[in-house]
Amino acid sequence: MAKETPRLMTKNNSDQPIVLNTAHFLKMKESGEKISMITAYDYAMAKCFAASEADLILVGDSLGMVVLGYDNTLQVTLDDMIHHSKAVRRGAPDSFIITDMPYLSYHLEIRESKANAARIMVEGRANAVKLEGGSASRIEAIKAIVDCEIPVCAHIGLTPQSVNRFGGYKVQGKTAAAHEIIFQEALSVEAAGAFMLVLEGIPELLGQEISQAVKIPTIGIGAGRYTDGQVLVCNDLLGYADMRPKFVKSWADLNSVVTNAMNEYSREVKAGSFPSPEYIYYPITNK
Ligand code: KIV
Residue to mutate (ligand 1; options 103, 130, 153, 234; most atoms within 8 A of CB): 130
Residue pLDDT, tens place only, 95-135: 999 999 999 999 999 999 999 999 999 999 999 999 999 99
Separation CA 75–CA 32 (nearest Å): 38
Q: What are phi and psi of 68, to 5 degrees?
A: -100, -10
Question: Which residue puts its alpha carbon closest to atom 3 of ligand 1?
Answer: 60
Instruction: Check whether 203 has a pLDDT greater than 80.
Output: yes
- Tell me how far CA of residue 173 lies from CA of 8, 114, 123, 222, in angstroms: 38, 30, 36, 12
List the residue whose alpha carbon is closest to atom 1 of ligand 1: 60
CA distance 267 to 263: 6
Counting Cβ atoms within 10 Å, is residue 1 exposed (0-12), middle (13-18) or buried (19+)?
exposed
Catalytic residue among 33, 200, 204, 264: 200
pLDDT at 233: 97
216 CA distance to ligand 1 middle (Å): 18
Q: How far apart are CA 111 and CA 192, in angstroms?
A: 17
Radius of gyration of the chain (CA): 21
Least confident interval from 2-6, 149-153, 253-257: 2-6
Query: Alpha-carbon distance 119 to 125, whole Å?
Result: 9
Does 4 score more than 50 pLDDT?
no
Ligand 1: centre distance to CA 231 (Å): 8
Gap from CA of 17 to ligand 1 centroid (Å)? 28
CATH superfamily of this structure's domain 7-279 = Phosphoenolpyruvate-binding domains (3.20.20.60)
Please state the separation of Cα 216 from the chain's center in Å.
Answer: 17
Residue nearest to atom 2 of ligand 1 (CA): 60
Q: Report the atom number in ligand 1 closest to the C-alpha of 200.
A: 7
Q: Ligand 1 centroid to 60 CA: how many Å?
A: 5
Ligand 1 pocket, Cβ-based, cut-off 6 angstroms: 39, 58, 60-62, 100, 155, 198, 200, 221, 231, 233
256 C-alpha to center of ligand 1: Å? 24
At 242 the pLDDT is 81
Beta strands in the chain (DSSP E): 7-10, 17-20, 35-39, 56-59, 97-100, 128-132, 152-157, 196-200, 218-221, 229-232
Residue 14 has pLDDT above 70, yes or no: no
Average pLDDT of the chain, as a whole number: 94
Global pTM reads 0.94
Q: What is the residue with the minimal CA distance to atom 4 of ligand 1?
A: 60
Cα separation, 147 vs 285, in Å, equals: 69
204 carries an active-site annotation: no
Domain residues of the chain, as ranges? 7-279
pLDDT band at 13 (very low <50, low <70, confident <90, very high): low
B/e letters for 54-67, b = 16+ CB within 10 Å, e = fewer, are bbbbbbbbbbbbbb
| Coil, strand or helix at 57 | strand
Assess whether pLDDT exceeds 60 at residue 65: yes
Which residues fall within 8 angstroms of residue 226, CB to CB, at 6 or more apart?
204, 207, 208, 211, 212
- Work out the average pLDDT over 199-204: 98
